[in-house]
Amino acid sequence: MKNKTKLALSALLLASMTVLTACGSSTATSSSGDSTGGQDAKEITLILGAYSTPQEAFKVIIPAFQKQWKEKTGQTVKFQESYEASGTQARAIAGGFEADIAVLSLEADIDTIQKAGLITTDWRTKPHNGMITNSVAALGTREGNPKGIKDWEDLAKPGVGVLIPNPKTSGGAQWDVNAIYGGGLKHSEAQGKKDPAYAADLLKRVQKNVKALDKSGRASMTTFENGTGDVVVTYENELIGRNLEGQHYTIIVPNDTILIENPAAVVDKNADKHGVRQAADAFLDFLWTPEAQQAFADKGFRPVDPAVAKQYESQYKTPPGLYDIKYLGGWDQVRKDLYQDGAIWDQGLAGK
């Protein structure tokens, strides 16, 4: 009896070992299969590593590209799509997920991949500095804006429950916090001089009203949808997307707000390794065509293409005080000032 169990146990162990090794080798063969595909194969596969928000738009863009590529070259392009939070996706690609194209929420995440040595060309030389879509930081309130929220200062009013995704767990959420901080800078500038201390204080006062720091922008919207909080700080396109799905949130774009720019790039090392460089380049270029730009605009993004932007003019008014990340000194400066361990974001929270 004892021997039998032992035998069974060892058989089980052996079996699990073979399964484990099989798992390992199967992923290896599938990726090398791609590389033998080559430029002239009848069918190639592109691996897209993206952040989660543009998924809806890609449902339209990818079939359009496949059709166009087939007509032009006779090749069938298959897509493997992965959608994750932007920072998670960037780390996955840098850590060995062999995406050919990266579509992320902020520059810093593309930089992560570049620093890992996988992007070898200067991706910023592409049209619009490599940015495929824009948006702005906006405020979403319950239908009809019962708390009368108009500006960043209103987030600090007593009795207002604020939702912000946590900038420590979500790189994309840094746009939202940048906007609050930037709103404070603009406010103080209007009073006389650009005062970082005032901006830090505004952020701290807003932090006191925060109901939940969810781990991502998506999670923050879910919390809001479930009835918690009076106002959610997020991207305009996220709010428009929710309203397109049948919600009735009031979307407020404050007069001073930050321009959100989302980059895309070909991951050179991976595309070359898989032998899909031409298709990958073509797909990236396709993202700036009017067709793709319209698809993005339909899902709530602001198009970067001026002609398409004109077309959607009534949908996306440009607020008078719109500024970009340079107003805050660029990403490196912002990370140092706001998000480093013990920087402004931490100080505000630790002070309680």
Footprint on this chain of other proteins (rule: CB under 8 A): 3, 6-7, 9-10, 13-14, 17, 85, 87-88, 91, 112, 166-171, 210-215, 219, 223, 226-228, 339, 341-342, 346, 349-350, 352
Least Cβ distance, residue 142 to other proteins (angstroms): 11
Residue 221, SS3 per DSSP: helix
Least Cβ distance, residue 24 to other proteins (angstroms): 13
Least Cβ distance, residue 222 to other proteins (angstroms): 8
| Residue with Cβ nearer other proteins (140 or 254) | 140
Which amino acid, residue 179? A
| Residue with Cβ nearer other proteins (209 or 237) | 209
What is the residue-wise DSSP string for 63-124? HHHHHHHHHHHSPEEEEEEEEE-HHHHHHHHHTT---SEEE-SSHHHHHHHHHTT---S-GG
Least Cβ distance, residue 165 to other proteins (angstroms): 10
Residue 220, SS3 per DSSP: helix
End-to-end CA separation in angstroms for the chain: 64
| Residue with Cβ nearer other proteins (301 or 345) | 345
| Residue with Cβ nearer other proteins (171 or 303) | 171
Contact 297, 303 (CB under 8 A): yes
CA nearest neighbour of 84 among 217, 214, 270, 176 = 217
Which amino acid, residue 79? F
| Residue with Cβ nearer other proteins (9 or 197) | 9
CA–CA separation, 293 vs 306, rounded Å? 10
Least Cβ distance, residue 160 to other proteins (angstroms): 15
Least Cβ distance, residue 156 to other proteins (angstroms): 16
**Residue that is written with structure tokens 């901006």 in the block:** 199
| Residue with Cβ nearer other proteins (109 or 256) | 109
Residue 351 burial by Cβ neighbours in a 10 Å radius (0-12, 13-18, 19+)? exposed
Least Cβ distance, residue 255 to other proteins (angstroms): 29
CA dihedral 275, 276, 278, 281 (to 10 degrees): -130
CA nearest neighbour of 176 among 339, 59, 342, 13 = 339
CA–CA separation, 157 vs 119, rounded Å? 45
| Residue with Cβ nearer other proteins (8 or 197) | 8
Which amino acid, residue 196? P
Bridge partners of 82? 49
Least Cβ distance, residue 211 to other proteins (angstroms): 6
| Residue with Cβ nearer other proteins (248 or 352) | 352
CA–CA separation, 179 vs 258, rounded Å? 5
